[in-house]
Amino acid sequence: MRVRLGVLFSTLLLAGCRSAPATPPAPAAVPSVSPLSSVAPTPVDLRLAFAGDVHFMDRTATLLKDPATAFGAITPTLADADLTIVNLETAITARGTPEPKTYHFRTEPKAIDALKAAGIDAVSIANNHTLDYGRVGLLDTLDALSAAAYPAFGAGRNTDAAYLPWLTTVKGVKIAVLGFSQVNELSSTWAAGPDKPGIAMAFDTTRAIAAVASARRQADLVIVFNHWGDEASSCANNAQKAFAGKIAAAGADIIIGAHAHTLQGNGWLGRTYVAYGMGNFLWYGTSKSTETGILKLTVRSRTVIHQEFLPAVVSDSGQPRLLTGTAATKLNQRYTGLRGCAGLSATPSG
């Protein structure tokens, strides 16, 4: 009897299983597609501003009594850009021993307050005055910049740091900025080493090119600010032209320069925009030339689509003063004429 009941129970159970409706399979997931996914984003226009050499010595040192007004009436023009960069031609230190050279420049940390107040976003320190008071002075400079959270590039506590780009993002565009010095004076002893603070030198061409190529992989826009050229010469020399060609090939989109104490030509090297020399800007005394200015560039997708040079002169206070009228027209024409000996084109090519 137990066997019959067991068989009956098993038969009913199987029948029940066969009669249960099968569960339909879940529908395959359909990937959602944004109606705008095939539309390229609108390119962003960046407004960049560049000027030349700045330091705070003698007559310009007195301007630090009020850092907010140190750059004078030109400040709104400097600040009217998405990114503004100059060359800081000085150590920030009260210590150190003067190096064996003719000119020595140093200042106090209030100089950083003046730079900030003028709307200057970052500075190159790859030049022939950052180590005027030795490595002690350079380390003080780096410490002061770090304490103020103020961006600088072109020098560091060792080789890797010196050749490292400053990375920033503006309007969603990743920008890498590097600095190199091509000034021979004390270059062998001022160069950064594996365990030695110093400058990123253009003379180590292999390392400089590698730094630019690395920056190209990290950023949408690559800017290089060089310290180079022959003093008092308005024409770029062969060393400048050769180095510009190499870093342009490595991925530099914009190359800016200073050091010659006078303006040098601007234009295109292929698709790379080059301004070989911006002259003095905030300057302590008489020099090779008082001609200066602010270079304003509009950049879209790595390409300079608009350029404007705002001519100025270094005034008796050491502050740059914008020119107007006939004087402005004359300097603009001279600046444009320098393109010839620079070997640059009026438009991009290639």
Q: For 275-285, what is the mean pLDDT?
A: 98
pLDDT in tens, 170-189: 999 999 999 999 999 999 99
Rounded-to-5 percentages of helix, strand, coil across the chain: 30, 30, 40
pLDDT tier, 1 (very low <50, low <70, confident <90, very high otherwise): very low
The answer, yes or no, to whether residue 40 has pLDDT greater than 90, is no
- Cα(165)–Cα(163) distance, integer angstroms: 6
According to DSSP, residue 158 is labeled S
pTM of the model: 0.89
The answer, yes or no, to whether residue 130 has pLDDT greater than 80, is yes
pLDDT in tens, 51-69: 999 999 999 999 999 999 9
Q: For 262-347, where are the E strands, in sequence order? A: 263-269, 272-278, 280-282, 291-300, 303-314, 320-322
Fold of the domain built from segment(s) 45-342: Purple Acid Phosphatase; chain A, domain 2 (3.60.21)
Q: What stretch of H or E contains 227?
A: strand 221-227
